[in-house]
């Protein structure tokens, strides 16, 4: 069995329909569990109760970047192999990524005020995140502005390639320039924990919850896009008849 079989909309609808109830259940357990656990952690000795913002800020920022990477992969599959489901999946992911980016920016600003003494700073990571949000908005606007779906998929695919620079910078800006207010990675595979297990376990649970929420919403939105495309095709056939 090849993965390319799922590029067939009928096969995709059948498989995603079977998987969705399980994903909804897993998300409904994992996300609230992570958030409740995150809300109930003790105050940090330095940041006080503002540490609770981390359980929204870090997972949403992680998803904002990774959703763009997913869109990049889906766009490349469209540009190279012309599988329609991948183009529709990229389109379906964009609003989720945009909301995650807004959540990351807003929680970052609200967290920054008591921690750094400012809501906003033209720091490399913050600025690249703002540009990433503008790319998300531009990507969605471009899809809506072009009538021919194949042309829209082509142009948004190219835009996704360009925007990947900022998704990459959002992740690594703090390492490249080593300046600005934003710290480096909260979670690292390098030896030496940067975060106590009191905070890391609920954080991992929130990250898993956000990931499951994304996959669930992505499948629902991709199914919606496929249905809209099918409706448009049937209406066009009716008009010709």
Partner 1 sequence: MIAELGRHAAPVLAAWSISGVLIVGLIAQTLVAASRARRALEKVERRG
56 binds partner 1 (CB under 8 A): yes
Q: Which is nearer to partner 1, 50 or 185 (CB)?
A: 50
User: Tokens for 40?
Assistant: 């109930």
220 binds partner 1 (CB under 8 A): yes
Whole-number Å distance between alpha carbons of 1 and 136? 34
57 binds partner 1 (CB under 8 A): yes
Whole-number Å distance between alpha carbons of 170 and 122? 13
User: Tokens for 92?
Assistant: 């379906």
95 binds partner 1 (CB under 8 A): yes
Which residues, 58 to 77, sit near partner 1 by CB under 8 A? 60
Whole-number Å distance between alpha carbons of 65 and 184? 15
DSSP assignment string, 34-45: HHHHHHTSPPBT
Whole-number Å distance between alpha carbons of 157 and 138? 12
Among residues 66, 49, 229, 74, which one has the least CA distance to residue 161?
A: 74
29 binds partner 1 (CB under 8 A): no
Q: Which is nearer to partner 1, 76 or 99 (CB)?
A: 99
Q: Which is nearer to partner 1, 179 or 231 (CB)?
A: 231
Q: Which is nearer to partner 1, 62 or 103 (CB)?
A: 103
The footprint of partner 1 (CB under 8 A) covers 39, 43, 48-50, 52-53, 56-57, 60, 95-96, 99, 102-103, 106-107, 110-111, 113-114, 213, 217, 220-221, 223-224, 227-228, 230-231, 234-235, 237-238
């Amino acid at each position: 069995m090849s993965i390319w079989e799922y590029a067939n909309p009928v096969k995709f609808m059948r498989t995603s329909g079977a998987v969705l109830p399980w994903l909804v259940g897993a998300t409904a357990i994992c996300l609230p569990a992570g958030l409740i656990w995150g809300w109930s952690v003790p105050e940090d000795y330095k940041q006080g109760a503002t540490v609770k913002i981390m359980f929204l800020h870090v997972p949403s920022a992680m998803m904002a970047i990774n959703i763009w990477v997913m869109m990049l992969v889906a766009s490349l599959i469209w540009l190279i192999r012309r599988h329609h489901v991948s183009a529709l999946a990229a389109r379906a992911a964009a609003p989720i990524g945009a909301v995650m980016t807004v959540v990351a920016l807003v929680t970052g600003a609200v967290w920054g005020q008591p921690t750094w003494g400012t809501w906003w700073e033209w720091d490399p990571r913050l600025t690249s995140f703002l540009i990433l949000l503008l790319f998300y908005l531009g990507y969605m606007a471009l899809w809506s502005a072009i009538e021919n779906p194949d042309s829209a998929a082509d142009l948004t695919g190219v835009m996704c390639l360009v925007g990947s620079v900022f998704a990459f910078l959002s992740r690594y800006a703090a390492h490249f320039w080593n300046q600005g207010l934003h710290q480096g990675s909260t979670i690292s595979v390098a030896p030496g924990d940067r975060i106590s297990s009191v905070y890391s376990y609920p954080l991992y649970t929130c990250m898993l919850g956000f990931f499951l929420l994304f996959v669930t919403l992505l499948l629902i939105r991709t199914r919606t896009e496929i249905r809209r495309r099918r409706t448009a095709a049937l209406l066009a056939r009716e008009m010709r008849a």
